[in-house]
Amino acid sequence: MTSNTGWRILITNPVLVATRAALEQSAMVTIAPDQSAETLRKAVGDADVIIVRTHLPADIFDNAPRVLGAVRHGVGLDFIPVDAATAKGIVVANVPGGNANSVAEYCVMQMMNLLRRPDRADSLMRAVGWEKARTETVRGREICGRVVGIIGFGAIGSRLAQILHYGFQVDVVVCTRRPELLPQWARPVLIDALVSEADFVVPCVPYTKDTHHYLSAELISCLKPTAYVVNASRGSVIDELALLKALEERTIAGAALDVFEDKSPQPGHPVTRVKNLMITPHIAGNTVDAHTRIGMQCASEAIRILNGQQPQNFVNPEVWDRHQARRKELGGTRNLRH
């Protein structure tokens, strides 16, 4: 059903049918034909709210005379020029937690894959048969009883810790700014102790100027030779070149990356040539379950903004007075477009 309220919502990338249907109860919905900066600048001109699933160009809001809000379809705010939005009185919201379980499950899956390498067994069995594959497959190890170091303890970090502790009896150590919030079974440690002690190091922090290369070359050099790194947060929270060097020199055992400093590495990129590295194309949170939760949360936040209400996950609350002035300048009524 298409709304006749006159509001218009731009979605940067396709979403689930149910998400679009929920939005169309309150607005006319347009999906950008592609995600190039030029296309997005043109498409945003008549929009009241943007649902963001790709990186917006830094000047997007210079081309958005009517936009009241931008809602991130997910968590990472590096997709939105938040300061530019705030300067123009535009509300920014995100939907933290919607993909937390999917990303946490992905991290556990890759930990077990690194310890057991079923991909190698599969390839060998197809190529050389059952007996030789069984002989040549390296014996795996259990995750039970290992030390997993989690950097950050937000929605994803805390869910990952729960799965590991209750499901696998893993010794969970955590580096966080709020150690007082940790459950009794999660041990708070400083980052230096975490990297020297952990069998797995898993960053679970957003990308900001403070987390750029948080897992630095110096810290990577302190990892145990039997240690692994699993990253499904943002590529640039790790010094990728230093990690690749450690993998190639076998000073650490292996890694699994779902995100990269070059956000979409192509064949021939250095990450594709390292044998003890497992790579996936940013799929950790890409499940039907996560998209369903996130989509419904996005729709709710977008409708709240259109109706003049503050979003539940308000990224830039300091903008509210300026936002109210913006609405007034634009007419401020639901039926403005009629």
Q: What is the pLDDT of residues 17-68, one digit of tens each?
A: 999 999 999 999 999 999 999 999 999 999 999 999 999 999 999 999 999 9
Look up the pTM and report it: 0.85
First-to-last C-alpha distance (Å) of the chain: 18
Q: What is the pLDDT of residue 263?
A: 83
pLDDT, one tens digit per residue, over 164-196 is 999 999 999 999 999 999 999 999 999 999 999
Q: Are residues 266 and 142 in the same domain?
A: yes
Give me the percent of the chain exceeding a pLDDT of 90: 89
Q: Are residues 189 and 61 in the same domain?
A: no
Q: Are residues 162 and 212 in the same domain?
A: yes
**Rg from Cα positions in the chain:** 22
Q: Are residues 242 and 114 in the same domain?
A: yes
The answer to whether residue 145 is domain-embedded is: yes
pLDDT, one tens digit per residue, over 284-318 is 999 999 999 999 999 999 999 999 999 999 999 99
45 phi-psi bin (left φ>0, alpha ψ -120 to 50, beta other): alpha
The answer to whether residue 338 is domain-embedded is: no
**Number of structural domains the chain divides into:** 2
Give me the percent of the chain exceeding a pLDDT of 70: 96
The answer to whether residue 336 is domain-embedded is: no
Provide the residue range defining the domain that includes 111.
100-279
For the cut 60, the answer to whether the pLDDT of residue 334 exceeds it is: no
* Coil/strand/helix, residue 27: coil
Instruction: Supply the DSSP symbol for 132.
Output: H
Q: Are residues 85 and 106 in the same domain?
A: no
Contacts of 280 (CB under 8 A, 6+ apart): 256, 257, 258
Mean pLDDT of the chain: 94
pLDDT (mean) for 252-274: 95
- In the numeric block, the tokens 């499950």 are attached to 105
279: which strand partners? Answer: 257
Max CA pair span of the chain:
75
pLDDT-derived band of residue 135, with 50, 70 and 90 as boundaries?
confident
200: which strand partners? Answer: 148, 228
Q: Are residues 256 and 135 in the same domain?
A: yes
**Burial status of residue 90 (CB atoms within 10 A of its CB: 0-12, 13-18, 19 or more):** buried
Q: What is the pLDDT of residue 304?
A: 97
Count of residues in the chain? 338
- Say how far apart CA 199 and CA 143 lie, in whole Å: 9
pLDDT-derived band of residue 5, with 50, 70 and 90 as boundaries?
low
* Coil/strand/helix, residue 171: strand
CB atoms closer than 10 angstroms to residue 138: 9
Q: Are residues 181 and 235 in the same domain?
A: yes
Structure tokens at 158: 């805390």
Q: What is the pLDDT of residue 138?
A: 73
Q: Are residues 84 and 114 in the same domain?
A: no
Q: Are residues 166 and 109 in the same domain?
A: yes
For the cut 60, the answer to whether the pLDDT of residue 108 exceeds it is: yes
The answer to whether residue 214 is domain-embedded is: yes
The answer to whether residue 308 is domain-embedded is: yes
Q: Are residues 255 and 112 in the same domain?
A: yes
Q: Are residues 104 and 241 in the same domain?
A: yes
CATH of the domain at 238: 3.40.50.720
Which H or E run contains 92? strand 91-93
- Say how far apart CA 326 and CA 67 lie, in whole Å: 9
The answer to whether residue 260 is domain-embedded is: yes
pLDDT (mean) for 115-126: 93
- Single-letter amino acid code for the residue at 103: V
Structure tokens at 146: 């290992």
- Say how far apart CA 306 and CA 308 lie, in whole Å: 5
